[in-house]
């Protein structure tokens, strides 16, 4: 859908009463004297540490043609703090609106190429934070952010201008540096659970918020299906009562892949189970669940494709994959722990497959391995279950809100609890003698 809104600077009047030329000069000057790249614009009158008001609504998003590039225009219920960032590999522009939410029913993505923008998407990034991500076909930057009042609506107007590749790379590198510095020592220690505490399972419904995941034939979204299934497994585990359960997300919010792993480790989880669902538009008869473990080399080409698809979650949500490089150091430090973790992961994958087999819901080659970023905790046994194919009519039916799904969730919960309470210790005792490197 294309809108024709005039984003020409001469028509704009800034809420704070500065001329737009003045605002542009101010931002250009800022970028020059403090080359951080990432920009933050607070609404006029906002106190420095004022609590975030969650009541700002984004009522419409327009990505519009503009002679010199493109324009991003948001209709808001009132002014909001805006943070913009540039990401590279692939080139993207990220706009964060802390404290804002999207009005129900407005379009949240577009695939039409407009100036340097090739596609865009919007959604909740984290609780209370909305994000827009613009994919770029050419290097470009947000020239400035202006609030304009027009017929009772507050418009946030962001002209997007093409820049030289070298300049774009510089800005992206500066933003990345600032991001890593801000994160600093926030990794926190791994917290082992008390010896007498119940073992904890971390359930990880994939995707969420701005990242919808795979789509079914009727527009069913992977993020919704995996969340509903995870909640069913959680309910079954809580009813069982023998182990504790936590989730990486319980609502429609985005959680970066590395953050999911950190959550499992910081809570001292004994098991991490990531839930996903696949789609294969060209092969609609392919059905059933596959259970994945981590491997440097994929077990087959479909496994490699699945990992590539799932690993793109951060990219879709405007997270820089390179932010996660620190995990590499931990990989080395935890090398010994990893062998036992890997062994546990394989056993628990077999256990999980048992639940799907019982319901005749297994893929024909269900046990697979690939390099999933979300499975990289060196000290938490981790599996990723592709519950089925959203493109298969049988699978999508079972994965809907059905008694079959509830029964499957209950059996899966039972298998996971059994593993943690009995088999894990048996393997642990014999691991030193039997584990292969």
CB of 51 to Zn ion, least distance (A): 34
Which phi and psi angles does 204 have, rounded to 5°?
A: -125, 90
Angle between helices 403-418 and 222-240 (to 10 degrees): 60
CB of 278 to Zn ion, least distance (A): 7
Pick the closest to residue 355 from 421, 416, 312, 310 (CA basis). 416
CB of 351 to Zn ion, least distance (A): 21
Pick the closest to residue 316 from 226, 224, 227, 209 (CA basis). 209
**58 vs 370, which CB is nearer to Zn ion?**
370
Phi-psi region of 213 (alpha: psi -120 to 50; beta: other; left: phi over 0): left
Segment 300 to 319, residues that bind Zn ion, using CB under 5 A: 310
CB of 220 to Zn ion, least distance (A): 13
Q: Which stretch binds Zn ion (CB under 5 A): 53-61, 247-255, 272-280, 372-380?
A: 272-280
Residues 311, 372: Cα–Cα separation, whole Å: 6
Q: Which stretch binds Zn ion (CB under 5 A): 19-27, 100-108, 114-122, 274-282?
A: 274-282
Task: Tell me how many residues contact Zn ion (CB under 5 A).
Answer: 4
CB of 276 to Zn ion, least distance (A): 3
CA atoms within 13 A on the CB side of 405: 22
Window 168-207: contact mask with Zn ion (x via CB under 5 A) = --------------------------------------x-
Residues 271, 380: Cα–Cα separation, whole Å: 6
Segment 32 to 91, residues that bind Zn ion, using CB under 5 A: none
CB of 247 to Zn ion, least distance (A): 16
CB of 301 to Zn ion, least distance (A): 18
**121 vs 179, which CB is nearer to Zn ion?**
121
CB of 182 to Zn ion, least distance (A): 28
For the stretch 167-202, what's the b/e string if a residue is b when 16 or more beta carbons lie within 10 angstroms of its beta carbon? ebbebbebbbeebeeeeeeeeeebeeeeeeebbbbb
**65 vs 252, which CB is nearer to Zn ion?**
252
- Binder among 223, 260, 276, 361 for Zn ion (CB under 5 A): 276
Q: Which stretch binds Zn ion (CB under 5 A): 156-164, 273-281, 317-325, 396-404?
A: 273-281
Report if residue 388 touches Zn ion, rule: CB under 5 A.
no
Structure tokens at 10: 């001469």
Look at the block and give the residue holding tokens 């008390």. Answer: 194
**102 vs 372, which CB is nearer to Zn ion?**
372
CB of 405 to Zn ion, least distance (A): 17
**154 vs 409, which CB is nearer to Zn ion?**
409
For residues 209, 213, 215 and 221, what is the CA-based torsion angle, rounded to 10 degrees?
-40
**12 vs 226, which CB is nearer to Zn ion?**
226
Residues 223, 242: Cα–Cα separation, whole Å: 28
3-state secondary structure of 262: helix
Burial environment of residue 422 by CB neighbours within 10 A (0 to 12, 13 to 18, 19 or more) = exposed
**66 vs 310, which CB is nearer to Zn ion?**
310
Question: 67: cis peptide before it, omega within 30°?
Answer: no
Phi-psi region of 399 (alpha: psi -120 to 50; beta: other; left: phi over 0): alpha
**125 vs 168, which CB is nearer to Zn ion?**
125
Segment 207 to 236, residues that bind Zn ion, using CB under 5 A: 213
Residues 1, 96: Cα–Cα separation, whole Å: 23
CA atoms within 13 A on the CB side of 31: 24
Q: Give the residue nearest to Zn ion (CB).
A: 276
**114 vs 226, which CB is nearer to Zn ion?**
226
Residues 276, 230: Cα–Cα separation, whole Å: 10
Residue numbers of the site for Zn ion (CB under 5 A)? 206, 213, 276, 310
């Amino acid at each position: 859908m294309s809108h024709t809104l005039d984003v020409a600077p001469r028509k704009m009047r800034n809420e704070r009463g500065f001329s737009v030329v003045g605002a542009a000069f101010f931002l250009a000057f800022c970028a020059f004297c403090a080359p951080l790249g990432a920009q933050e614009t607070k609404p006029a009158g906002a106190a420095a540490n004022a609590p975030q008001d969650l009541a700002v609504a984004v009522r419409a998003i327009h990505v519009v043609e503009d002679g010199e590039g493109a324009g991003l225009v948001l209709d808001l219920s009132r002014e909001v703090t805006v943070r913009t960032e540039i990401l590279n590999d692939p080139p993207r522009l990220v706009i964060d609106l802390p404290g804002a939410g999207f009005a129900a029913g407005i379009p949240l993505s577009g695939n039409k190429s407009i100036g340097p923008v090739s596609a865009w998407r919007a959604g909740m990034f984290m609780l209370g934070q909305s994000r827009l991500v613009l994919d770029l076909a050419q290097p470009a930057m947000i020239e400035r952010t202006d609030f304009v009042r027009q017929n009772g609506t507050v418009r946030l107007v962001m002209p997007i201008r093409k820049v030289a590749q070298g300049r774009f790379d510089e800005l992206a590198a500066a933003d990345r540096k600032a991001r890593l510095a801000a994160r600093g020592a926030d990794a926190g220690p791994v917290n082992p659970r008390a010896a007498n505490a119940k073992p904890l399972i971390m359930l990880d419904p994939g995707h969420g918020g701005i990242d919808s995941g795979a789509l079914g034939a009727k527009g069913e979204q992977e993020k919704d299906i995996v969340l509903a299934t995870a909640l069913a497994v959680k309910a079954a585990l809580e009813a069982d009562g023998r182990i504790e359960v936590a989730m990486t997300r319980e609502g429609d919010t985005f959680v970066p892949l590395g953050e999911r792993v950190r959550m499992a480790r910081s809570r001292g989880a004994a098991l991490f189970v990531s839930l996903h669902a696949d789609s294969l538009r060209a092969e609609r008869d392919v059905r059933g669940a596959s259970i994945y473990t981590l491997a440097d080399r994929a077990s087959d080409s479909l496994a490699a494709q699945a990992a590539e698809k799932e690993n793109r979650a951060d990219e879709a949500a405007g997270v820089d994959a390179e932010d996660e490089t620190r995990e590499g150091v931990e990989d080395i430090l935890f090398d010994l722990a990893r062998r036992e973790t890997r062994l546990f992961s394989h056993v628990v994958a077999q256990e999980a497959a048992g639940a799907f087999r019982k319901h005749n819901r297994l893929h024909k080659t269900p046990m697979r391995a690939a390099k999933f970023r979300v499975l990289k905790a060196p000290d938490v046994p981790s599996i990723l279950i592709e519950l089925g194919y959203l493109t298969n009519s049988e699978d999508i039916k079972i994965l809907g809100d059905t008694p079959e799904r509830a029964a499957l969730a209950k059996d899966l919960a039972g298998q996971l609890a059994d593993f943690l309470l009995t088999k894990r210790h048996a393997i642990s005792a014999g691991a030193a003698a039997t584990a292969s490197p």
